[in-house]
Every structure is written in structure tokens, then in C-alpha cells.
Chain A
Amino acid sequence: MTESNSSYQEPGALRVALRTAAILLIFMLVFTALMAGTYRITAPMLEASAQAERLRVINEILPAANYDNDVLRDQVLVPADAALNNASVSVVYRARQKDKPVAIVVEATALDGYSGQIGLLLAISAEGRILAQRVIRHKETPGLGDYIDPKKDRNKQRPWINQFNQVGFDEVPFKQWRVKKDGGRFDQMAGATISARAVTNASARALLWVNQNRETLFSLPVGSRLEPVK
């Protein structure tokens, strides 16, 4: 009796399971299609606004009046193993005025922030000076170490990051390119030295790297990759 009962119920349970699975499959297909469709429609707009955003950040450190080429197009790729510490292949933008080199815009990473990595974007002139630099990503302590980002810096007149503007190794030698606490030339805020030290050292490494590779960077064809020479 019980056996026939259970053998009677078995196909029922199977049918319920199949039906349920089919419904879940339909849900999956419909909602995946919804996401894929939305992505397809919005992708060109997203790409355009990402480009605009990138250009805005670049123009913050390199005034648009200083160059006349399409800086976003004029790029070369740099492998991850360069002195820049970037986790993956990064893009270097080249700014030119009447085909004469003006500046290199390069991304660099400091691995030794107080809480994780600090991403920097630097504009370095053809004469080997940092025109300006910005922290483009960080996780430093809010209200304490985040003054490295001028948006969070309480000193609006003269944000901390601005002391690097127009400075090159001719003015501050590599050995002295440190925060004052380490015997260098750059200020730090008391109580949050680590963030300042990380940014300062990373910018020194980036400037050194650009100085060593400037000729190559400006002469490479658009979109090509810098081979690790050294």
C-alpha cells in the first residue's frame, strides 16, 4: 500500500520539480535579457560620459589651453610592471601643442597608503616638472588622512596636494622628495603622515619613471605598448 502510494507520488513530485525549474529558468532568461538589453542601449552613453569624466580630470591637472591635440586619443599603453605600481596595464596620455610635446598624463599607484592603495593621476611637463597631480582613488581615513584629496582638504586656499605643482627634480632632488618628517621638503599633516608619505613617494617614483622614458613615450605610435626595456 505504502509502496504503491509512494510510486504514485513520485512522478507528481518530479513534475512539480520540473515545472518549478522551468519557471525559474524563464525568470532567469527574462531578467537576463532585460539586463542585457538595458546594457546594450546604455553602453554608448556610458562610454561617452566615462570619456568626458576622464577628460575633466585630465583638464583639472592640465589646462585645456596648454595643448591642442585630442589627448584622450593620443595614448600609449604601459605594462603593469613599470615603477608606477599600477595593478594592470595603464594608459599614458600625451598632450602636444602644434605637435611639440607638452606633457605626459600618467596614472601611478601608492601601495603603502594607511588603508590600502592610493591612485594618483599626474601631469608631468616635457621639462620634467609635475604640473599638478590628483588623488583619483583612496580609502584613507575620512577627516584625517583624506586631505590628500583637495576636495576633502580643509585648506581650500592652498590644498596640500598643490605643493607639488610646478616642482621638478631640478628644484627638489629625488633624495629630498620626501615629507618633512622623513627629512624631505614636503609638508605633511600631523597625525596623518602615512597618507602624505605614500603620495609623496609615489609621485617621486612616477616623475623619475617619466623622466627616464619621456623620449620613448612621446615617439611611440598611438595605441602601441611600451616595451619594458630598462
Chain B
Amino acid sequence: MNAYKEIILNGTWKQNSILAQLLGLCPLLAISATFVNAVSLGLATILVMLLANLVISGLRTFIPYEIRIPAFVLVIASLVTVVDLAFNAFLHDLYLVLGIFIPLIVTNCIVLARVEAFAAKNGLAASTLDGAMMGVGFVWVIGLLGLIREFVGQGTLFSGIEMIFPRAHAIQVLPESYPGFLIAILPPGAFLVLGFMIAGRNWLDARANERQRQWLLEQRMPRANTASERG
């Protein structure tokens, strides 16, 4: 049970694909101009990562070490193709929204990275959970990035939501006359906002470490007297 908790924490925070590993930046920067696009790509990524980890974990005993990379690439590319076709055929309405993002996922090296680093060495359940959690880590970061870029760049929230929920509307937060802040929508804006987010994560981690150090110091001081009590 503890191992699974570790996987969840690693995926969403400690080993976060974007904030910690800085992997998969190409789709991240390309699709995060609005919140709805960002989350759509993220959800499709979860699906593919979960499937890739599941299949590779199941096949891992058949794949010789020397050819693991070509084998992984082959499996991931086929899976993405199959998911793309199946979505298009059976869930066409959803495909119209997510469809353009699915082939993009092949370019996301985080999929290959997790397959190589985790699924090739771990069991089915743990690997599937790892794939899903790495995807969740991707979703919340790309979603937040999209939220910030969209707000700063266009002064709206959730624009494009009507593609997913036809009756919903984008929220115009800043007045209509807001001229927009173009750089936030263009690729440099993605780098800038991402830079601030990574700095924020590092700051939070540094603060947490500092607190833990303080806590340990406080624990150690009185321990000299109360060591026997603490057992």
C-alpha cells in the first residue's frame, strides 16, 4: 500500500514530469495557450501513458534489454495509432475535441521515459498506476499553465469550453476592452510562465526542507534528556 502511495506522490509532485523532470515540454508549450486545450491534451496523455505502461509491463519479460528502446517506440506508436483510430470511429464527438491532440502525444518523451524507467521493471498494477499518476501530474501542471496564460493573454477563463460542454460559456474576467498580452499566448510566454512555476515549486520544496531541518533540530535538542521516554 505504501508503495502505491509513493507512486502517486512521485507522479503528481516529487518526480512530476514537467516541474521536476522537465520532460514533454514540446506538447506542453504548444498546447497550453488556453485551459480547455491544455486539459484536453492532458486527459489524452493520461490515457496513452496508462495504456503504454500497462502493455509494456505485460510484455517486459519478452523484450531483450538490447532492443528495448525500438520495441518501446514501436509499442507506443502503435498504441497511439490504435487509440486515435478507435476514438475517431467510436467516440467521434469526443474525438472532434481531443482528436488533434492524440498524435501529438507520440512526441511526448515522458511516455517513453516512464516506460523505460518504470514499466520495464515493475508489475502490471504498479506500472498502470504510475502511468496514470504521471499523466495526472502532467494534467495539473499543463492546466495551471493554460489557466495563467489564458488569463494574462486574453483576460478570459475556459475559452473554448463550448466545444466540450455546448451550453457552457467562457468567462470574460477582464473587461472586453482588455487589449490582450500577446506574449503570454505566444510560445515565449509559455516558457516564461513555466519558468515561474518551476521556481515556485523549488521554493515550496526548499521551504519544506528547511522546516524539516528545523523540526529535526528541535527534536534532537531535547532528545538528550528525554531519550528514554521516547523509547
Measuring CB to CB, which residues of chain A are less than 8 angstroms from any residue of chain B? 19-20, 23-24, 27-28, 31-32, 34-35, 38-39, 41-42, 45-46, 49, 141-144, 154
The docked-state distance in angstroms from the alpha carbon of A24 to that of B66 is 10
A31 B66 Cβ-Cβ under 8 A: no
Chain B residues with CB under 8 A of A19: 64
Q: How far is the CA of A121 from the CA of B62 in the complex (A)?
A: 51
B positions within 8 Å CB-CB of A? 33, 62-64, 66-67, 70-71, 74-75, 78, 81-82, 85-86, 88-90, 92, 153-154, 176, 180, 182, 185-186
**Given A20-B66, A23-B64, A38 and B81 contact (CB-CB distance below 8 Å):** yes
Tell me, in angstroms, the Cα distance from A35 to B62 when the chains sit together. 20
> Does A27 lie within 8 Å of B74, measured CB to CB?
yes
DSSP class of A's interface residues: helix, strand, loop or mixed? helix
CB proximity of B167 to chain A, nearest CB, Å: 16
Q: In the docked arrangement, what's the CA distance between A143 and B33, Å?
A: 10
Chain A contacts of B70 at CB under 8 A? 24
* A167 CB → nearest B CB, Å: 28
Interface-central residue, B64, B86, B89, B180, by most chain A CB under 10 Å: B89
Q: Are A23 and B62 in contact (CB under 8 A)?
A: yes
In the complex, the answer to whether A41 meets B182 with C-beta atoms within 8 Å is no
Alpha-carbon gap, A154 to B156, bound state (A): 12
Q: Are A46 and B85 in contact (CB-based, < 8 A)? A: yes
List, in ascending order, chain B residues with CB within 8 A of A39's CB.
85
Question: Contact at B182–A24, with CB atoms within 8 Å?
Answer: no
Q: How far is the CB of A15 from chain B (nearest CB, A)?
A: 12
What are the 10 A-B residue pairs with the smallest beta carbon separation, nearest first?
Answer: A42-B89, A45-B89, A31-B78, A42-B85, A38-B82, A38-B85, A49-B92, A20-B64, A24-B67, A35-B81
Q: Measured between alpha carbons, how far is A144 from B89 in the docked complex, in Å? A: 34
